[in-house]
């Protein structure tokens, strides 16, 4: 992220440097017995924290409109605090008011700019949350995200499934489950290389999270198996979803080099996550044996 | 002894035989190359050299970096499979063209210094299966489970590809059951945890079954390439492994430090110093050898404690019983009942 903001950082440094030069030009140094160390400590800490904010913004945000607002707001704050700290060491002549203006004016302006930026950030976060829906349900823990597909992994699935089962049972609602398995993925990997296998998993997970509803959550259950949780969905509706997904997936496997997929749907009737997942595994094993649910490339 | 010994600082691992695959896997999962390589002496440009090498310190650091950067439990399984299907590793190619599992495993074991110098194996037969026990040839610290998973994934991958089934194969692991689910999903074989050894049990029936891709010509060609690679990368063994072998062979006699040093062509002090680098010492290794031998003997047949004590070089039965209790927390007779694959 740092590289995107090179000019911004250069500009900030120049701005602070010009403040310093201006202060030295106008004022004269104080004697060391005139220093108020408590003030210096307080103002120095404020400056350091504001600099820390700048650093965090630069290192965590991509370039963009909101980043600019956040950055320049904090920069004005830093500038103001910097001059504030300087006047502990430098005395200005009484008749020149410029330095005290420069010291006090940027801070409130900076605060306003920063606030505007934060509002923008809030909106942006809402948009991102909308985009994330379908990938997560009620829990957020970035440690559980599978780095390849950006879907949540099995621990997340177990936690969410357990909670949903309890909720749905107490409210007497139906909970649906879709299980998607790539047939003979090891062979695909062997033939086309693991790099292609990884790329395929990426495509597949993208398609899954796009094609399901916002309330559904897709997880990567195992290397080659995905499970989607459909809250508040009866079996009939789950069937329709599965049918829809099969159509979409068969478009993905148009190229002959794509592996075949098996998709099974089920209604969760078990009362804990473990037995539900076990049932899902068994349903998948049965489907593979009977091979009625196979998705044939068109 | 003609075989050279290696330590953590000897560059005996080929970058192309594992590291590049691991780095590619990690990078596709979003890890950054410079962070993966940090703390190692590997440079980015070395990665493309055909015979670029690294030593075990770097390899362990690399594994550690991968796990720090990524939360991807599938990594060791994928690494095993990626190695197996890598076209640049002639050893792995030769495995697939072997006649049967017997030939493949013999080949893997003979050339293991090209792929997994950090493990050696011990074979034993039990009823209808052959048991391969994996022993670390040098201290792998916290990465032993990762490496073991990779090796087992490679073996199971080979069996699955060539014989179409892993039915009847079972595993015993020393580690606790924390990875149970992952093992189950990736391997599809029975795994038991918290055991006294790391081993895989393969039914005799699979041992001689002909591989689907069996091809003598291609196998011989690949083996020739392996032999050529031996000129560049000579056969080397880790010191702890060599000592354990010597001791095991000498039982019921016990070799002392000077005898072993002489056998290995080292001075006694340099043996001690090198063992120190491996974070172990002579007495620990000897104890380990006796423990393994005791377990193996118990598993094979009905020896009395007196016979066992004699075979393991203990001065009397009492000492043996005490040592056994220290190893397992059990007395020998109750251990016999526990050690059972079925």
| B18-38 pLDDT tens trace | 899 999 999 988 888 988 998
In a domain, B129, yes or no: yes
Q: Are residues B113 and B197 in the same domain?
A: yes
Phi, psi of B172 (to 5 degrees): -125, 130
**A146, A190, A198 ranked by CB distance to B85: nearest:** A190
Q: Are residues A78 and A208 in the same domain?
A: no
* Minimal Cβ distance to B81: which of A145, A154, A189: A189
B1 assigned to some structural domain: no
User: In angstroms, rounded to a whole number, what is the distance separating the alpha carbons of residues B95 and B214?
Assistant: 9
The answer to whether A148 contacts B31, with C-beta atoms less than 8 Å apart, is no
- Is A217 strand, coil or helix? strand
**Mean pLDDT taken over chain B:** 86
What size, in residues, is chain B?
342
Residue A19 lies in a domain: yes
**The three-state (H, E, C) secondary structure of chain B, written as one string:** CCCEEECCCCCCEEHHHHHHHHHHHHHHCCCCHHHHCCCCCCCHHHHHCCCCEECHHHHHHHHHHHHHHCCCCCHHHHHHHHHHCCCCCHHHHHHHHCCEHHHHHHHHHHCHHHCCCCEEEEEEEECCEEEEEEEECCCCHHHHHHHHHHHHHHHHHHHHHHHCCCCCCEEECCCCHHHHHHHHHHHCCEEECCCCCCEEEEEHHHHCCECCCCCHHHHHHHHHHHHHHHHHCCCEEEHHHHHHHHHHHHCCCCCCHHHHHHHHCCCHHHHHHHHHHCCCCHHHHHHHHHHHHHHHHHHHCCCCHHHHHHHCCCCCHHHHHHHHHHHHCCCHHHHHHHCCCC
Residues A178 and A214 in one domain: yes
Query: Out of A146, A154, A190, whose CB is closest to B72?
Result: A146
Distance between CA atoms of residues B90 and B229, nearest Å: 9
Contacts of B24 in chain A (CB under 8 A): 194-195
In a shared domain, residues B182 and B112? yes
Residue A206 within any structural domain of the chain: yes
Q: Which helix (H) or strand (E) holds A264?
A: strand A261-267
Domain span at B147: 73-236
**Same structural domain, B204 and B251:** no
Same structural domain, A161 and A124: no
From chain A, pick out residues whose CB is under 8 angstroms from the CB of B78: 194, 223
Whether residue A222 and residue B31 make contact (CB cut-off 8 A), yes or no, is no
A150 and A18 co-located in one domain: no
The strand pairing partners of A222, in sequence order, are A225
**CB A50 within 8 Å of CB A81:** yes
Instruction: Count up the domains in chain A and report the number.
Output: 2
Residue B71 and residue A225: Cβ atoms within 8 Å? no
Same domain, yes or no: A244 and A277: yes
Task: Kindly list the residues of chain B whose beta carbon comes within 8 Å of any beta carbon in chain A.
Answer: 21, 24-25, 28-31, 70-74, 77-78, 81-82, 85, 157, 160-161, 181, 185-186
Domain identity same for A163 and A211: yes
Query: DSSP state, A183?
Result: T
Whether residue B139 sits in one domain with residue B63: no
Residue with tokens 């504030």: A84
Nearest-Cα residue of chain A relative to residue B23: A195
- Domain for residue B273, yes or no? yes
Residue after which a domain boundary falls, among A132, A164, A183: A132
Q: Which residues of A touch B (CB under 8 A)?
A: 143-148, 153-154, 186-187, 189-190, 193-195, 198, 221-223, 225
Instruction: Compute CA distances A219 → A248, B93, B148, whole Å.
Output: 18, 35, 27
Are B285 and B321 within one domain?
yes
* Residue B2, in any domain of the structure: no
Q: Which of A147, A154, A195 sits opposite B181 (nearest CB)?
A: A154
Is B188 inside a domain boundary?
yes
Confirm whether A137 is domain-assigned.
no
Answer yes or no: are the C-beta atoms of B160 and B150 closer than 8 Å. Answer: no
Residue B94 and residue B226 in one domain: yes
User: For residue A298, what pLDDT is reported?
Assistant: 34
Which of A112, A132, A152 represents a domain boundary (last residue)?
A: A132
**Whether A105 and A157 share a structural domain:** no
Span between the terminal Cα atoms of chain A, in Å: 44
Looking at the domain assignment, is residue A20 inside a domain? yes
Q: Is B91 in contact with B206 (CB distance < 8 Å)? A: no
B101 falls within a domain? yes
* A106 and A72 housed in the same domain: yes
Over residues B121-131, mean pLDDT: 86
Distance from CA of B337 to the nearest CA of A (A): 32
Note down the domain range covering A146.
142-295
* B81, B178, B179, B183: best to mutate for the A interface, most A CBs within 10 A: B81
Q: Which of A147, A221, A225 sits opposite B70 (nearest CB)?
A: A147
Asked if the structure places residue A232 within a domain, the reply is yes
B224 and B107 share a domain?
A: yes
B291 and B251 in contact (C-beta within 8 Å)? no
Average pLDDT rounded to a whole number, residues B130-135: 90
* Tokens 């009484």 found at: A94
How high is the pLDDT of residue A296?
45
Q: How far is A196 from chain B (nearest CA, A)?
A: 11
Q: Which residue of B has its CA nearest to A149?
A: B29
> Please, what are the averages of pLDDT over each run of 10 residues along chain A (298 residues)?
80 92 88 87 93 88 87 92 90 85 90 93 84 67 80 87 87 89 86 87 87 86 88 89 87 70 88 88 85 49
Residues 6+ apart with CB under 8 A from A91: A27, A28, A29, A30, A34
Q: How far is A101 from chain B (nearest CA, A)?
A: 46
- Whether A239 is in a domain gets the answer yes
Residues in A closer than 8 angstroms to B73, CB to CB, are 153
Kind and range of the H or E run holding A267: strand A261-267
B89: closest CA among B186, B209, B233?
B233
Shared-domain flag, residues B326 and B300: yes
The residue among B71, B96, B188 with the most chain A CBs within 10 A of its CB, best to mutate, is B71
- Listed residue (B240, B136, B138, B286) closest to B198, CA to CA: B136
Q: How far apart are CA A21 and CA A19, in angstroms?
A: 6
Last residue of a domain, which of B190, B207, B236? B236
Question: Do both B140 and B261 map to the same domain?
Answer: no
B interface test, pick of A194, A195, A219, A222 with most B CB neighbours within 10 Å: A194
How far A195 CA sits from the closest chain B CA (Å)? 8
Structure tokens at B278: 């491996």
Cβ A276 vs Cβ A162: under 8 Å: no
| Minimal CA separation from A242 to chain B, in Å | 24
When CB atoms are compared, the residue of B71, B77, B161 closest to A147 is: B71
Residue A10 resides in a domain: yes
A223 to B185: CB separation less than 8 angstroms, yes or no: yes
Q: How many domains, chain B? A: 3
Residue B197 neighbours by CB under 8 Å, 6+ apart? B133, B172, B174, B292, B295
Looking at the fold, whether A152 and A128 belong to one and the same domain comes out as no
Which of B35, B85, B184, B212 should one mutate to test binding to chain A, selecting the residue with the greatest count of A CBs within 10 A? B85
pLDDT band at B250 (very low <50, low <70, confident <90, very high): confident
* B223 shares its domain with B84: yes
Residue pair B162/B84 in contact (Cβ under 8 Å)? The answer is: no
Task: Measure the CA dihedral A160/A165/A167/A171, to 10°.
Answer: 150
Tell me which of B232 and A111 has the higher pLDDT. Answer: A111
The answer to whether the CB of A295 falls within 8 A of the CB of A249 is yes
- Residue B1 predicted with pLDDT over 50: no
Whether residue B71 and residue A187 make contact (CB cut-off 8 A), yes or no, is no
Note whether B78 contacts A190, CB cutoff 8 Å. Answer: no
Inter-residue contact B86 to B160 (CB < 8 Å):
no
CA angle B58, B64, B70 (to 5 degrees): 130
Q: Are A152 and A286 found together in one domain?
A: yes
pLDDT value for B3: 67
Instruction: Extract the tokens encoding A198.
Output: 């990884």
pLDDT in the model for residue B342: 36
| Residues in chain A closer than 8 A to B28 (CB atoms) | 148, 195, 198
Report chain B residues whose CB lies below 8 A from the CB of A225. Answer: 185
Residue A178: CATH number of its domain: 3.30.70.270
Q: How high is the pLDDT of residue A295?
A: 52
Considering B174, B201, B236, which residue would you say is the last residue of a domain? B236
Q: Are residues B23 and B97 in the same domain?
A: no
Same domain, A94 and A211: no
**B272 and B328 assigned to the same domain:** yes
- Give the nearest chain A residue to B25 (CA atoms): A195
Verify that A125 and A155 share a domain, yes or no: no
Q: How many CB atoms lie within 10 A of CB B256?
A: 10
Which of these three, B48, B72, B96, is where a domain ends? B72
| Residue A58: C-alpha distances to residues A53, A119, B17, B150, B184 (Å) | 9, 18, 39, 40, 44
- Subunit contact A189:B161, Cβ cutoff 8 A: no
Could you tell me which residues come within 8 angstroms of residue A8 by beta carbon, excluding any fewer than 6 positions away?
A: A58, A71
User: For residue B3, is it within any domain?
Assistant: no
Residue where a domain terminates, one of A132, A163, A185: A132
Given a contact cutoff of 8 angstroms between Cβ atoms, the answer to whether B209 and B169 are in contact is: no
**Burial environment of residue A160 by CB neighbours within 10 A (0 to 12, 13 to 18, 19 or more):** buried
* pLDDT for B323 beyond 60: yes
């Amino acid at each position: 992220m740092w590289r995107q903001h090179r000019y911004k950082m250069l500009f900030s440094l120049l701005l602070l440097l010009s403040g310093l030069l201006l202060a030295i030009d106008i004022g004269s140094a104080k004697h060391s017995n005139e220093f108020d160390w408590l003030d210096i400590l307080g103002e120095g800490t404020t400056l350091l924290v504001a600099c820390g904010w700048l650093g965090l913004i630069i290192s965590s945000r991509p370039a963009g409109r909101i980043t600019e607002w956040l950055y320049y707001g904090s920069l004005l704050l830093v500038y103001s605090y910097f001059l504030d700290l300087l006047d502990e060491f430098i005395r200005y002549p009484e008749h020149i008011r410029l330095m005290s203006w420069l010291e006090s004016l940027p801070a409130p302006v900076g605060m306003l700019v920063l606030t505007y930026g934060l509002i923008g950030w809030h909106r942006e976060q809402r948009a991102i949350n909308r985009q994330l829906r379908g990938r997560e349900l009620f829990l957020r823990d970035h440690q559980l995200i599978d780095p390849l597909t950006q879907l949540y992994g099995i621990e997340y699935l177990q936690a969410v499934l357990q909670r949903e089962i309890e909720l749905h049972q107490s409210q007497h609602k139906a909970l649906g489950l879709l299980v998607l398995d790539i047939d003979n993925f090891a062979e695909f990997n062997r033939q086309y290389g693991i790099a292609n296998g990884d790329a395929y998993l990426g495509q597949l997970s993208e398609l899954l999270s796009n094609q399901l509803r916002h309330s559904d959550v897709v997880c990567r259950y195992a290397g080659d198996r995905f499970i989607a949780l459909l809250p508040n969905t009866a079996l009939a509706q789950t069937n329709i979803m599965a049918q829809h997904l099969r159509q979409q997936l068969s478009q993905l496997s148009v190229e002959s080099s794509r592996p075949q997929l098996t998709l099974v749907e089920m209604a969760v009737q078990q009362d804990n996550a473990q037995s539900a997942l076990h049932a899902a595994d068994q349903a998948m094993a049965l489907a593979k044996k009977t091979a009625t649910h196979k998705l044939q490339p068109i | 002894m003609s075989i050279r010994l290696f330590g953590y600082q000897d560059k005996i691992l080929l970058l192309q035989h594992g590291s590049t695959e691991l780095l590619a896997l990690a990078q596709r999962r979003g890890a950054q190359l410079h962070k993966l390589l940090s703390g190692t002496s590997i440079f980015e440009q070395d990665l493309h050299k055909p015979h670029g090498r690294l030593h075990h310190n770097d390899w362990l650091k690399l594994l550690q970096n991968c796990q720090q950067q990524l939360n991807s439990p599938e990594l060791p399984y994928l690494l095993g499979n990626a190695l197996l299907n890598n076209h640049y590793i002639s050893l792995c190619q030769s495995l697939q063209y072997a006649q049967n599992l017997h030939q493949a495993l013999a080949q893997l074991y003979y050339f293991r210094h090209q792929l997994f110098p950090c493990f050696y194996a011990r074979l034993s037969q039990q009823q209808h299966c052959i048991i391969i026990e994996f022993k670390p040839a040098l201290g792998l610290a916290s990465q032993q489970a990762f490496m073991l998973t990779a090796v087992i994934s490679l073996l199971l991958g080979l069996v699955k590809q060539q014989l179409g089934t892993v039915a009847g194969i079972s595993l015993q692991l020393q580690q606790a059951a924390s990875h149970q689910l992952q093992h189950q999903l990736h391997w599809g074989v029975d795994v038991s945890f918290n055991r006294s050894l790391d081993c895989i049990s393969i039914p005799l029936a699979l041992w001689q079954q002909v591989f689907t891709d069996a091809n003598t010509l291609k196998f011989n060609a690949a083996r020739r390439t392996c032999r050529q690679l031996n000129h560049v990368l000579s056969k080397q063994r880790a010191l702890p492994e060599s000592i354990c072998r010597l001791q095991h062979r000498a039982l019921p006699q016990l070799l002392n430090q000077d005898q072993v040093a002489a056998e290995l062509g080292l001075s006694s002090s340099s043996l001690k110093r090198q063992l120190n680098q491996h974070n172990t010492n002579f007495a620990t290794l000897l104890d380990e050898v006796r423990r393994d031998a005791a377990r193996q003997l118990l598993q094979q047949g009905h020896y009395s404690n007196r016979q066992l004590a004699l075979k393991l070089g203990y001065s009397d039965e009492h000492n043996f019983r005490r040592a056994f209790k220290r190893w397992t927390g059990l007395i020998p007779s109750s251990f016999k009942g526990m050690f059972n694959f079925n």
